[in-house]
Amino acid sequence: MLRTVIFGLAAGTAIALGPSPAAALNIFACEPEWGALARELVGDQANVYTATTALQDVHRIEARPSLIAAARRADLLVCTGAGLEAGWLPLLTRESGNARIQPGTAGYFEAAHAVALVDVPTRLDRSAGDVHPQGDPHIHTDPRNIARVAQALTDRLAELDPAGADRYRARHRAFAERWQQAIARWEAVGAPLRGLRVVEQHRGFTYLLRWLGIEVAGYLEPKPGLEPTTGHMSRLLEQQRARPAGMVIRASYHDPRASVWFAERAKLPAVVLPFSVGGDAASKDLFSWYDAMLDALLKAAK
């Protein structure tokens, strides 16, 4: 695995329009899952910088000078898109002064373009809470989406670095084979979860739950992005008495108080799921991250 490399340039340094044929690509990944995927595809042929961690709320990231410095050297920016980074990515790309990674260029890659988004709102109304206009951007929690993004990202790497195209495609073939085998294993191991009902703190695992056939019985947030309230959770408790769920789930970066409060009163296990690579000690890469999520769900279901 590549070590994370932090890049920096003094202000005013001339900007090249493309990487030198002999130089490794510099990749700026907005989220840990895309940093991990990039490493699978490039091996030691590129430098990968990951801007955020799985213990951060990626909606609310500050475009710090260190991130701007890293973006300034990037040849390829790999982000989720679909509005997920809308609060900080435009500022980051603008302040970087890097012509290579501006929207519309080959160096600007949005993973969401490779998949079909779910929960696209039919109308936009701020009273509905923090709704994503383009649909749910948390595509990485379904491994089938990872496979689609891997293919698209390989194509983009080959476009940016034609000299390394054969290496990227060979690494992609090897990754895709391992990944499809892992998906088959996860689906077999996760089969007992099909039909399970869960209460979710925030709409973050929609793709994961749909893939596994898990039903959402309710959300602790009264509206997306709004903090859970005692009144709302009390009403949710009443609903649970008629048709109880099997567990309460939250991402590792969320405040645990609401899920613990609800779980204690509903007498349900409170499950913490790593939201990406690095979300817990076991989630060291894409494969072990999915293993960790499945393990947590299966243990609670028992």
**Could you report the per-residue pLDDT of 57-109, keeping only the tens digit for each?**
999 999 999 999 999 999 999 999 999 999 999 999 999 999 999 999 999 99
**Average pLDDT, integer, range 8-18:** 36
CA distance 164 to 42: 9
Secondary structure class of 260 (helix, strand, coil): helix
Question: Count of CB atoms within 10 A of residue 175's CB?
Answer: 19
Q: Residue 141's closest CA among 214, 78, 199?
A: 214
Sheet holding 197-200, edge to edge: 215-219, 197-200, 247-251, 270-273
- For the chain, give the percent of residues with pLDDT over 90: 83
Per the CB < 8 A criterion, the answer to whether 49 and 74 are in contact is: yes
pLDDT at position 41 over 50: yes
Which residue matches tokens 């034609």?
A: 162
- Domains of the chain are 25-184 (3.40.50.1980), 191-301 (3.40.50.1980)
pLDDT at position 16 over 60: no
pLDDT value, residue 20: 39
Per the CB < 8 A criterion, the answer to whether 140 and 79 are in contact is: no
Pair of tokens at residue 120 = 């696209």
Strand 76-79 to 25-29 pairing: parallel
pLDDT per position as a tens digit, 261-302: 999 999 999 999 999 999 999 999 999 999 999 999 999 998
Q: Report pTM.
A: 0.89
Rg (CA), the chain: 20
Sorting pLDDT into bands at 50, 70 and 90, what band is 11? Answer: very low
pLDDT per position as a tens digit, 212-254: 999 999 999 999 889 999 999 999 999 988 889 999 999 999 9
**Average pLDDT, integer, range 199-223:** 96
